[in-house]
Amino acid sequence: MNDATASIGTMATEAFDMLIDAVDQIAPERWSQPSNLEGWTLRDLVGHAIGSAAKIVTLVEDGEIWAGPSRPADWVCDDPAGRLRELAARLREALPGADLDAMRVSPEGEVPLRRALVYPVSDLALHTWDVERSQGRQIELPENLFALCRGLLGSVPESMLRRPGGFGPAQPVPSGATPTTGLMAFLGRSVDGRGQLPAS
């Protein structure tokens, strides 16, 4: 595995680990409660994230990719954390032999695997924040995943970013907001003054 493969591979496995940790902390009674995303329960949110995780693995394994976002109902299961661990194990097995220059289907059309992975890996990182937020916690994305998400969003036209089914209107950013909080507010998440940098 070359350095470029290692980099996106490391980010993919890191995003998996973060999501698994967040899902492990969901109390049984919380699954049917609303998430921070309108119209979705916490189970729906995690179901969608599992679909993104499956897309990462399918891309690396050169399987058949479905078009559009992952629908929560297609991925809801009785053991979400277990399902994510199964997918993470498949990813770790497939990554060493992955050819990141091989062409894969993506929202941009046919692109090298390294570029195709940017979409679902970013989705996994952003929705980990959503899962934590839905449980009353806030996290900061690691610097590499934050940069990946920010870079992807900066390359997407505003009209595509805010299309129906995409991200909502940007929300106010509190004074002193952390980088991740500012990013999530830009993506339409309500941050309610949380996620602020400590006073110096």
Average pLDDT, the chain: 88
Q: CA-CA distance, 135 to 81, in Å (whole number)?
A: 16
Q: Token pair of 131, please?
A: 């899962």
- Give backbone dihedrals phi and psi of 69, rounded to 5 degrees, phi first: -65, 160
Q: For the ranges 37-46, 74-83, 138-147, which has the lowest average pLDDT?
A: 74-83
- pLDDT band at 83, cuts 50/70/90? very high
Model confidence, pTM = 0.88
Q: CA-CA distance, 111 to 125, in Å (whole number)?
A: 21
Q: For the ranges 25-39, 59-73, 119-133, 173-187, which has the lowest average pLDDT?
A: 59-73
Q: CA-CA distance, 80 to 39, in Å (whole number)?
A: 20
Cβ neighbour number for residue 16 with a 10 Å cutoff: 23
**Is the separation of the CB atoms in 59 and 65 below 8 Å?**
yes
